[in-house]
Amino acid sequence: MARKFFGTDGIRGRTNAGVMTAATAMKVGQAAGTYFQRGDHRHRVVIGKDTRLSGYMMESAMVAGFTSVGMDVVLLGPMPTPAVAMLTRSMRADLGVMISASHNPYEDNGIKLFGPDGFKLSDEAELSIEALLGQEMELADATQVGRARRIEDARGRYIHAVKASLPDNVRLDGLRIVIDCANGAAYHVTPSALWELGAEVIAMGVEPNGKNINLNVGSTHLDAIKDKVRETRADIGIALDGDADRLIVVDEKSQTVDGDQIMALIGTQLAARGELRGGGVVATVMSNLGLERYLGAQGLTLERTAVGDRHVLERMRSGGFNVGGEQSGHMILTDHATTGDGTVAALQVLAALVSSGKPASELLHLFDPVPQLLKNVRFAGGKPLEVDSVRQVIAEAEAQLAGRGRLVIRPSGTEPVIRVMAEGDDAAEVEAVVDTICNAVRKAV
């Protein structure tokens, strides 16, 4: 069945255009509510959102949808995506909903769904809900319409949970931390958790107005936090994205520490304590070859998946791994969370900083990334990667890099773009390989 609504991470798009309308949100509430009403108990859904303007509209529409098919609704207000996943499970809800477009600008919005176990829905569940979206929903009898209520202790529950991810004896006293919450969902909870653990907290990106989420702040716009780390002489900077499931770190020298370095640190720290499961770390094909080599030197493996945190999590669950993530900053630590959690990952980094006594610039740069280059080629139609001339150029490039680098070529899942990535020890060679393939694709289209 072709997907009309669900993409690689729920439903996402520009507000009031395409699939991202109030009418669609209400329909999704009805369809998901119908799908998850199993058993004879009173059914419940928890709904969280980030801080973008359209969240009010989408939240109200989803409440209407769920209650119209007889499901009760618990509203969390602005909360990180991992908090919604955690509360779905801890409150024994039938499903959870996060209304967010993650790191996208405020004009976009999205809907992420979690099952009762706190994990994102399987492909099968999403396809079943897709099928229901094309049908007329059976509404609840007037006597069975659902109720909606807002709980006031959601923030406290999540703060308690993330603090519990650290041993009782770990404190952050003496650390000066800049935290950038991207004017998003974690604007209150993450600074509070860090402060309660003893840190000196310098918060930025904590004044959401509905339109400034991810606007020149957060994990995808690091200039502001780098300036603040320099200005305040902080020990470290923590940058989250709009829904706080992604983490990028800035060291005390204002150098960027991406997800690959963070996975290297957390993975080797757990391995040293005998707590790493699966014998290594799970990451995507985009993670740097330097990470793979570093882990190999430590006797650990790097398992690679397709791009997307859901693919990482699927492999983690099937292989029994407890550390995984993406170079872009999604960190999945299944000992503590069922989805990417930027705050939990940040706390593991901070705990290592405290115990090591080293500056962040030394602790968090465990390997030298090999030169890596990614370029995009836009096309109007067709399947350029199936053209013989393109295939030949790609085969020649793979042979050229064999044993000394990697080549990853894939169509985008969200736009008509071919992504061409190469990496290797010779930066000039990497650039030449990428340019040759991009030119071949352009000629083919």
CB-based contacts of 56, cutoff 8 Å, min separation 6 = none
414 pLDDT exceeds 70? no
39 pLDDT exceeds 90? no
E strand or H helix that includes residue 407: strand 405-411
Question: Does 138 reside within a domain?
Answer: yes
- Total structural domains within the chain: 3
Show which residues are catalytic: 102
Residues 175 and 312 in one domain: yes
Q: Model confidence at 191, in pLDDT bands (50, 70, 90)? A: very high
Residues 15 and 91 in one domain: yes
Question: Does 299 reside within a domain?
Answer: yes
Residues 189 and 337 in one domain: yes
Annotated binding site: 102, 241, 243, 245
Q: By residue range, what is the domain housing residue 73?
A: 11-152
Give me the mean pLDDT over the 85-97 stretch: 97
Tokens representing residue 186 in the block: 């974690």
State the sign of the Cα–Cα–Cα–Cα dihedral 310, 41, 133, 17.
negative
Give the Cα separation of 24 and 342 in Å (integer).
Answer: 29
Under a CB-based contact definition with an 8 Å cutoff, are residues 17 and 34 in contact? no
Give me the mean pLDDT over the 315-337 stretch: 97
Q: Within a 10 A sphere around the Cβ of 216, how many other Cβ atoms?
A: 12
Domain boundary among 121, 152, 183: 152
Q: Model confidence at 2, in pLDDT bands (50, 70, 90)? A: low
Annotated binding site for Mg(2+): 102, 241, 243, 245
Residues 283 and 420 in one domain: no
Q: Model confidence at 347, in pLDDT bands (50, 70, 90)? A: very high
1 pLDDT exceeds 60? no
pLDDT of residue 259: 97
